[in-house]
């Protein structure tokens, strides 16, 4: 009889089984079925996170806590006028490398739970060292945000990362 430690030294085919199941799901139900599955999976992890109406950053911390509880070893850190959610481990990275719908659903559900646009910067499935999602703490022109008010003086500088005054005019000048 093998112990759990002994079984750890033998091969496992969990990723192969999951990948085969995802292929079969796509064959039977199409891309929509994969997208629905990916959405439901992410919601099962972070869907119950309660949004803090006063702080996107605190909500991001709650998302990271939910991800960590699901095995993603997640954390948050302040970066400029935003916060990054970093997933230092991905239990489904091998499957996500072949089925990017898993990562895409995370980004969409994160945006919904956080109540703001988010941007995926890196994924383990693409060979990066962590999955990193940027969450802006304010919308340009909204200096009343409590998250921004709590930011260090250097990151509250309105001259940092401001959009061009007249992007339409700039586009016309280039042509």
14-50 pLDDT, tens digit per residue, is 899 999 999 999 999 999 999 999 999 999 999 999 9
pLDDT band, residue 147 (cuts 50/70/90)? low
Rg (CA), the chain: 20
pLDDT of amino acid 139: 60
Whether 143 and 122 have beta carbons less than 8 Å apart is answered as no
pLDDT of amino acid 28: 97
Domain ranges within the chain, ordered by starting residue: 14-151
Whether 138 and 147 have beta carbons less than 8 Å apart is answered as yes
User: What CATH code is assigned to 14-151?
Assistant: 3.30.1380
Q: pLDDT by residue (tens digit) across 107-136?
A: 999 999 999 999 999 999 999 999 999 999
Distance CA 22, CA 97 (A): 12
Structure tokens that stand for 67 in this block? 């991800």
């Amino acid at each position: 009889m093998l112990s759990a430690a002994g079984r750890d030294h033998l091969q496992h085919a969990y990723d192969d089984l999951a990948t085969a199941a995802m292929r079969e799901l796509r064959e039977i139900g199409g891309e929509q079925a994969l997208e629905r599955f990916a959405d439901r999976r992410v919601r099962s992890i972070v869907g119950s996170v309660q949004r803090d109406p006063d702080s996107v950053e605190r909500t991001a911390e709650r998302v990271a806590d939910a991800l960590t509880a699901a095995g993603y070893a997640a954390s948050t850190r302040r970066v400029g006028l935003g916060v990054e959610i970093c997933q230092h481990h991905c239990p489904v990275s091998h499957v996500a490398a072949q089925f990017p719908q898993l990562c895409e659903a995370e980004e969409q559900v994160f945006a919904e739970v956080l109540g703001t646009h988010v941007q995926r910067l890196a994924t383990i499935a693409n060979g990066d060292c962590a999955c990193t999602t940027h969450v802006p703490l304010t919308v340009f022109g909204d200096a009343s945000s409590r998250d921004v008010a709590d930011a260090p003086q250097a990151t509250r500088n309105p001259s940092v990362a401001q959009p061009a005054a007249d992007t339409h005019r700039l586009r016309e000048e280039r042509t």
